[in-house]
């Protein structure tokens, strides 16, 4: 009898031991991650780089958020965050959120609808004079259709739009759209921000480290699992990689491991979990259409025909980058053109020899030969990820009798230089905060945008952009989006070379990591991640 | 002596003043200012926002006003506000000083315990195979870029020990910290040890050629005791000088080493601040470095005077 | 007023040699390390000059198939991740190093000599003022000074040369100034003055040649440190920009990232820098022994 009891107890214990890892997430532990550079500030609304979003998204909450359990961000996979529910009015111009109650800011003050109003008032420039919550706003175009934010009660807030805009909810669901506290000031938000999120900022030491600790009063019960997150800023990538391999870090920075480096990391740390995914950052060309020589449309055509996208992809991504226009192609992307459609576009045909022959014929017709090449400067930002493709581009241009010289431009003056049209070809990277046509088209190609720094202007495209933006039917809208894409390609607005891809690695002890495949800027709340140590 | 000191202090102050003007003007020649960087790093180039930030930081004021503002503050011990972190510059700079100081101290320590004995041995065994070996070794120390040496050390430590000696934020104890710093310190110190060794060797040789050594030797003192006792004591004088100068100039080696080993010291901070056009940080750091160099030079001269009674700074 | 008196050296050594070959042989035997240094420097200069003929590939030409190729028959020293031939890049890198090293040393030398001569010769307030400026410049370590200069000028080949040259000026100026001061009172200068020679002519014809020996010694040392400084600046991202295959640049960023799978990317450029600087240092030591007997060791 005794032995039997013991046996039963033993098997029960064995059962628990075996199955425990399957559901019981462990509480505690400090996650150590390497960071690639010094974030310009901690204020997500003021910045446009993953360097800020990845570490600080965990400090905040949005109204709504892309479902953290889904790999692909899509408009119908949006879940509540600080808003419990939302509804549109019949003509789709008023979006009302019912807010969670009992939520507290990290300093103990209660969260209310007023904070939502303050945040978006600041973003659309309607904040009162005294408020200094935000001193610069790189995403003005996201909210050009937002007319007003009205507080119904402490737990109800309504966004009033000028016209229907189905993308609006997607923008609010992005990592770039946290809710700020009304009572905070800009300087604090930039150096030691408060939020309602699962982690509190202990310290943001410039060039050194970012320390976050668990918010014990987080409104989502039982979260987060981690006690703390330690970000260490290590600007030298080889040191970062060595640190990860040596076990100093549990996780690499997002998309920090390029394909050529992946073999090395896997060889040194065989148990590392590495996931490749598109970053929704594309490499593209900026062509100065207003000055010789590229004011000549024929020359622009030769240029886009000459691009050997496969060679870029093979060298920089070992063939893992995606071929696409400015929207990320399916299946990772929601809005991109299909492969067949893309290959029918000028310059995207897989028949490289035919493209090259045509490009060369154009150049020779224009009077350029091997001995009498066209001499140009290829400008790019003086950062490795910009310079590397520029070096390849210069090499490829030789084939169509263009002799390019690299002009590395200090990051400080890059946009000023491009806006001032002091370049002929620029090599550029464009990242999308949300896989959404409105954010992309309005930001980069609409004539009124302040981030359309090539000053591309086509009234027809402007009209198409507005038309797709207001279209409520998803399938009809996709067709309009493809129409815009086709126009942009034909105009050579910003010829896309590759839709980039890269790897993120972590230790197998880190559980619950789910990378989102169409934006690196989303999905970094860290509340579902835990350490099995 | 008093007159000499007064003159010396005046010159030191003048040099620092000159440095403040030089660095101030040079920084303003750099294309782009911090407002450009802050706004451009967000992917926008909105002149209105730039102007707003420039006004907020006071960099839209005339250069002369800015200079007076900075130097006036400095005179009262106020280093101003760092542009990027928006914190008082002193809070950014002060915690980084001890780290660099420890690193430099360790490096200097290594270079002396390595450089002086090897220099002496090399001199005593002049023109033997061992001397040639040491001379080549010391020359190679002057030839290896310290960042390359650092990279090789990092590679090797991961390869063979499965660890990476990079600086974590709170080393558990002073011992831990020193152990951690000793690897980069060796990378920096290798170069200075080579310099010290060469100088020790040549000044040893010079002293050994001098008459009183010959006299001592002829009086029957043993060869070894002459070499080590008489010669070394006299040869150390110029070595003290070079050690002093080297201490200040280690800063150059620290810049690359702190970058490679990710050490949060002042030298790496200087590079970052230059890239961000964070004038208050760059200006004050440069002044700090210049101050250290000048003071060390002064101390070296004083030490020289104390050690060698023949030298008098009369006027 | 011997300028570079290797004859004196020969006679001091009691050697009775004639003809170039035997002289070279003599110096090689007497200064074996110096001879090795001279050989390395010669090799370096030849590589830089004949880079076009030596390098099998265009150093900027990329090739996906050769990405991270191991050292072997096709790629003598391997290839970087863009498939650029390392051997060709190192060969052309010699040209960059030589251009910057020599350019900076010469520019710094010319400025330094001019300032030093004027300072020592004119004396007075000019001397006082320049000395104070030199004080200021020397109160920063070479690399820190070059760093600030490079940042304020922006990345380019010419600017890198200037940024390295300027911090070299004070040392040269001080050496020239002090020899000028001692020479100014020498009898032959007095004599020249007595026969009515102009001051500028005296300075250039009589004073300058006598400072040449220490200048050559100093210059060789500065060549090495200019090459090292360029490598450090480029490593920090402030020196020579990308299309040029600078050795220091090769060691930074992208190269070092593949350090484990492709150690040749880190080893060979580092060896190239070290060897070149080592050569100039060996040569410099020997030259000092030959030209500057006072500092003989």
Claim to verify: residue C17 and residue C96 sit in the same structural domain: no
Chain A residues touching C241 at Cβ < 8 A: 382, 406, 408
Q: Are strands A402-409 and A374-381 parallel, antiparallel or unpaired?
A: parallel
Structure tokens at A12: 């029960």
Q: Are strands A402-409 and A156-161 parallel, antiparallel or unpaired?
A: unpaired
Closest partner residue to A261 among C63, C253, C258, by Cβ? C258
Q: What is the model's pLDDT at position A7?
A: 41
Q: What is the spatial distance between Cα A347 and Cα B78, in angstroms, rounded to a whole number?
A: 60
Q: How many interface pairs between A and C have CB atoms less than 8 angstroms apart?
A: 70
Mean confidence (pLDDT) of chain A: 90
Query: In which domain, by residue range, is C224 found?
Result: 33-295
Q: Among the residues of A307-351, which ranges form H helices?
A: 309-317, 339-343
Claim to verify: residue C129 and residue C209 sit in the same structural domain: yes
- State whether B44 and A450 contact (CB < 8 Å): yes
Q: Which of residues 3-32 of B touch C (CB under 8 A)?
A: 11, 14-16, 18-19, 22-23, 26-27, 29-31
Residue C238 maps to which CATH number? 1.10.3720.10
Claim to verify: residue C92 and residue C20 sit in the same structural domain: no
Q: Which of residues 110-139 of B touch C (CB under 8 A)?
A: 132, 135-136, 139
Whether the CB of B36 is below 8 Å from some CB of chain A: the reply is yes
Residue that the structure tokens 């570079």 belong to: C4
Residue that the structure tokens 């101003």 belong to: B80
Surface-to-core class of residue A102, CB atoms within 10 Å of its CB (0-12 exposed, 13-18 middle, 19+ buried): exposed
Q: Are strands A228-233 and A30-35 parallel, antiparallel or unpaired?
A: parallel
Q: What is the spatial distance between Cα A434 and Cα A174, in angstroms, rounded to a whole number?
A: 6
DSSP string, chain C: --SS-HHHHHHHTT----SHHHHHHHHHHH-HHHHHHHHHHHHHHHHHHTHHHH-SS-TT---GGGTTPPSSSSSTT-B-TT--BHHHHHHHHHHHHHHHHHHHHHHHHHHHHHHHHHHHHH-HHHHHHHHHHHHHHHTS-HHHHHHHHHHHH-SSHHHHHHHHHHHHHHHHHHHHHHHHHHHHTSHHHHHHHHTT--HHHHIIIIIHHHTHHHHHHHHHHHHHHHHHHHHHHHHTTSSS-TTS--HHHHHSTHHHHTTTT-THHHHHHHHHHHHHHHHHHHHHHHHHHHH-GGG--
Q: What is the model's pLDDT at position A485?
A: 95
DSSP single-letter state for residue B81: B
Claim to verify: residue C24 and residue C72 sit in the same structural domain: no
Whether the CB of A457 is below 8 Å from some CB of chain B: the reply is no
A interface test, pick of C63, C255, C257 with most A CB neighbours within 10 Å: C257
Claim to verify: residue C73 and residue C9 sit in the same structural domain: no
Residue that the structure tokens 């974590």 belong to: B168
* Helix (H), strand (E) at residue B96: none
What percentage of chain A's residues is helix, strand, coil (to nearest 5)?
Answer: 35, 20, 45
Claim to verify: residue C278 and residue C253 sit in the same structural domain: yes
Whether the CB of A261 is below 8 Å from some CB of chain C: the reply is yes
pLDDT band, very low/low/confident/very high, at A20 (cuts 50, 70, 90)? very low
Whether the CB of C33 is below 8 Å from some CB of chain B: the reply is yes
Distance in Å, alpha carbon of C181 to nearest chain B alpha carbon: 20
pLDDT band, very low/low/confident/very high, at A16 (cuts 50, 70, 90)? very low
Whether the CB of C297 is below 8 Å from some CB of chain B: the reply is yes
Q: What is the model's pLDDT at position C160?
A: 93
Whether the CB of C278 is below 8 Å from some CB of chain B: the reply is yes
First to last CA, chain A: 38
Claim to verify: residue C2 and residue C57 sit in the same structural domain: no
- What does pLDDT average to in each consecutive run of 10 residues of chain C (297 residues)? 52 63 82 91 96 92 84 90 91 94 96 91 88 89 88 85 94 88 80 81 79 85 92 87 83 71 88 95 87 54
Q: What's the structural domain count of chain C?
A: 2
Residue whose C-alpha is closest to residue A168's, from A257, A244, A78: A78
- State whether A315 and C260 contact (CB < 8 Å): no
Subunit partners of chain C (3 or more CB pairs within 8 A): A, B
Claim to verify: residue C260 and residue C142 sit in the same structural domain: yes
Whether the CB of B53 is below 8 Å from some CB of chain A: the reply is yes
Claim to verify: residue C42 and residue C164 sit in the same structural domain: yes
* pLDDT tens, residue order, chain B (315 aa): 688 889 989 999 999 999 999 999 988 887 778 888 788 777 776 778 888 888 888 888 888 999 999 999 998 989 988 988 888 999 999 999 999 999 998 998 998 899 888 988 888 888 888 988 998 888 888 899 888 988 888 878 877 877 777 765 566 777 888 888 888 898 888 888 888 888 888 888 877 777 666 666 666 666 666 666 666 666 777 777 777 767 666 877 888 889 888 888 999 899 889 888 898 999 999 999 999 888 888 888 887 777 765 655 544
Other C-beta atoms lying within 10 Å of the C-beta of residue A32 = 20
DSSP string, B18-31: HHHHHHHHHHHHSS
- State whether B40 and A414 contact (CB < 8 Å): yes
Cβ pair B254, B103 in contact under 8 A: yes
Cβ contacts of C203 within 8 Å, gap of 6 or more: C117, C121, C180
- State whether B251 and C144 contact (CB < 8 Å): yes
Average pLDDT over residues A363-372: 93
Cβ pair A494, A487 in contact under 8 A: no
Q: What is the spatial distance between Cα B69 and Cα B77, in angstroms, rounded to a whole number?
A: 12
Claim to verify: residue C20 and residue C68 sit in the same structural domain: no
Whether the CB of B245 is below 8 Å from some CB of chain C: the reply is no
Does pTM top 0.95 for this prediction?
no
Claim to verify: residue C101 and residue C145 sit in the same structural domain: yes
Claim to verify: residue C209 and residue C231 sit in the same structural domain: yes
- Grouping H, G, I as helix, E, B as strand and the rest as coil, residue B116 is helix
């Amino acid at each position: 009898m005794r032995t039997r009891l013991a046996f039963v107890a033993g098997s029960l214990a064995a059962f628990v031991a075996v199955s425990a890892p399957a559901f019981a997430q462990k509480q505690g532990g400090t996650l150590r991650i390497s960071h690639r550079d010094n974030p310009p500030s901690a204020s997500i609304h003021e910045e446009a780089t993953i360097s800020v979003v990845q570490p600080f998204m965990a400090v905040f909450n949005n109204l709504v958020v892309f479902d953290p359990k889904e790999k692909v961000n899509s408009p119908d996979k949006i879940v509540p965050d600080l808003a419990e529910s939302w509804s549109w009015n019949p003509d789709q111009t008023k979006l009302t959120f019912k807010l969670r109650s009992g939520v507290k800011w990290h300093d103990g003050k209660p969260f209310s609808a007023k904070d939502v109003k303050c945040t978006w008032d600041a973003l659309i420039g309607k904040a009162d004079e005294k408020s200094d919550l935000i001193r610069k706003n790189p995403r003005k175009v996201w909210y050009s259709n937002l007319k007003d934010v009205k507080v119904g009660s402490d737990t109800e807030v309504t966004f009033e739009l000028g016209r229907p805009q189905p993308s609006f909810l997607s923008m609010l669901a992005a990592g770039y759209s946290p809710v700020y506290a009304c009572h905070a000031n800009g300087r604090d938000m930039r150096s030691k921000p408060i939020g309602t999120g699962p982690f509190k900022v202990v310290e943001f030491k410039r060039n050194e480290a970012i320390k976050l600790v668990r918010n014990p009063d987080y409104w989502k019960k039982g979260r987060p699992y981690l006690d703390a997150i330690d970000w260490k800023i290590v600007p030298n990538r080889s040191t970062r990689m060595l640190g990860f391999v040596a076990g100093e870090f549990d996780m690499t920075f997002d998309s920090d491991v390029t394909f050529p480096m992946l073999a090395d990391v896997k060889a040194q740390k065989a148990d590392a979990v590495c996931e490749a995914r598109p970053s929704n950052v594309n490499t593209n060309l900026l062509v100065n259409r207003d000055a010789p020589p590229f004011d000549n449309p024929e020359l622009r055509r030769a240029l886009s025909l000459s691009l050997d996208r496969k060679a870029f992809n093979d060298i920089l991504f070992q063939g893992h980058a995606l071929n696409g226009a400015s929207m990320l192609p399916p299946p990772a992307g929601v809005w991109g053109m299909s492969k067949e459609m893309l290959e029918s576009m000028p310059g995207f045909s897989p028949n490289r020899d035919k493209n090259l022959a045509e490009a060369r014929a154009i150049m020779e017709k224009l009077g350029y030969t091997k001995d009498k090449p066209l001499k140009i400067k290829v400008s790019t930002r003086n950062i490795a990820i910009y310079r590397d493709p520029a070096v390849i581009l210069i090499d490829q241009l030789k084939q169509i009798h263009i002799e390019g010289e690299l002009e590395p431009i200090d990051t400080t003056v890059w946009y000023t230089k491009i806006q001032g049209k002091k370049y002929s070809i620029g090599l550029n990277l464009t990242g999308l905060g949300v896989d959404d046509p409105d954010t992309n088209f309005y930001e980069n190609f609409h004539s009124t945008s302040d981030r359309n720094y090539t000053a591309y202007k086509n009234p027809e495209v402007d009209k198409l952009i507005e038309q797709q933006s207001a279209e409520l039917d998803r399938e009809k809208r996709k067709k309009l989006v493809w129409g815009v894409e086709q126009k942009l390609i034909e105009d050579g607005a910003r010829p896309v070379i590759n839709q980039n891809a890269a790897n993120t690695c972590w230790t197998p002890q880190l559980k619950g990591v789910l990378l989102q495949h169409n934006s690196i800027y989303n999905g970094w709340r860290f509340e579902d991640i835990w350490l099995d140590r | 002596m008093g007159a000499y000191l007064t003159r010396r202090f005046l010159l030191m102050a003048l040099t620092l003043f000159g440095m403040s003007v030089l660095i101030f003007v040079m920084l303003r020649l750099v294309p782009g200012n911090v407002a450009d960087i802050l706004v451009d790093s967000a992917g926008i180039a909105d002149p209105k926002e730039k102007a707003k930030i420039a006004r907020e930081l006071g960099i839209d004021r005339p250069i002369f006003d800015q200079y007076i503002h900075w130097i006036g503050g400095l005179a009262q011990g106020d280093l101003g506000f760092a542009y990027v972190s928006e914190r008082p510059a002193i809070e950014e700079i002060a915690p980084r000083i001890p780290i660099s100081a420890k690193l430099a101290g360790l490096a200097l320590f290594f270079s002396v315990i390595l450089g002086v004995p090897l220099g002496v041995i090399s001199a005593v065994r002049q023109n033997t195979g061992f001397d040639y070996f040491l001379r080549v070794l010391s020359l190679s120390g002057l030839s290896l870029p310290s960042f390359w040496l650092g990279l090789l050390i990092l590679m090797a430590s991961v390869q063979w020990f499965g660890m990476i000696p990079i600086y974590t934020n709170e080393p558990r104890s002073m011992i831990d910290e020193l152990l951690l710093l000793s690897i980069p310190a060796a990378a920096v110190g290798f170069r200075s040890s080579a310099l010290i060794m060469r100088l020790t060797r040549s000044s040893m040789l010079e002293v050994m050629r001098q008459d009183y050594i010959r006299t001592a030797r002829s009086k029957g003192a043993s060869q070894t005791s002459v070499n080590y006792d008489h010669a070394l004591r006299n040869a150390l004088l110029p070595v003290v000088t070079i050690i002093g100068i080297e201490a200040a100039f280690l800063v150059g080696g620290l810049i690359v080493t702190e970058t490679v080993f990710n050490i949060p010291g002042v030298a790496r901070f200087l590079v970052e601040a230059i890239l961000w056009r964070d004038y208050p940080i760059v200006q004050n750091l440069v002044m700090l470095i210049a101050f250290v160099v000048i003071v060390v030079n002064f101390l070296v001269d004083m030490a020289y005077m104390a050690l060698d009674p023949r030298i008098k700074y009369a006027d | 007023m011997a300028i570079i008196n290797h004859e004196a050296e020969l006679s001091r050594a009691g050697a009775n040699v004639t003809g170039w070959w035997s002289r070279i042989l003599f110096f090689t035997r007497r200064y074996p390390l110096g001879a090795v240094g001279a050989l390395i420097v010669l090799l370096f200069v030849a590589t830089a000059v004949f880079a076009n003929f030596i390098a099998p590939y265009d150093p900027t030409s990329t090739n996906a198939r050769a990405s991270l190729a191991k050292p072997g028959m096709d790629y003598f020293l391997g290839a970087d991740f863009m498939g650029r031939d390392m051997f060709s890049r190192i060969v052309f890198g010699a040209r960059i190093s030589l251009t910057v090293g020599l350019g900076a040393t010469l520019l710094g030398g010319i400025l330094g000599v001019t300032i030093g001569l004027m300072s020592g010769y004119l004396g007075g307030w000019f001397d006082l003022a320049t000395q104070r400026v030199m004080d200021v410049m020397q109160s920063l370590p070479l690399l820190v000074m070059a760093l600030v200069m490079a940042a304020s000028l922006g990345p380019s080949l010419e600017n890198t040369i200037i940024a390295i040259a300027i911090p070299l000026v004070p040392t040269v100026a001080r050496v020239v100034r002090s020899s000028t001061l001692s020479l100014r009172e020498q009898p032959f200068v007095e004599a020249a003055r007595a026969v009515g020679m102009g001051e500028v002519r005296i300075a250039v014809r009589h004073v300058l040649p006598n400072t040449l020996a220490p200048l050559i010694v100093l210059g060789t040392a500065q060549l090495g440190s200019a090459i090292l400084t360029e490598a450090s600046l480029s490593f920090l991202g402030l020196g020579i920009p990308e299309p040029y295959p600078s050795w220091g640049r090769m060691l930074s960023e992208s190269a070092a990232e593949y350090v484990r799978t492709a150690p040749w990317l880190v080893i060979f450029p580092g060896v190239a820098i070290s060897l070149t600087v080592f050569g100039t240092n060996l040569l410099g030591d020997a030259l000092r022994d030959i030209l500057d007997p006072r500092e003989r060791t």
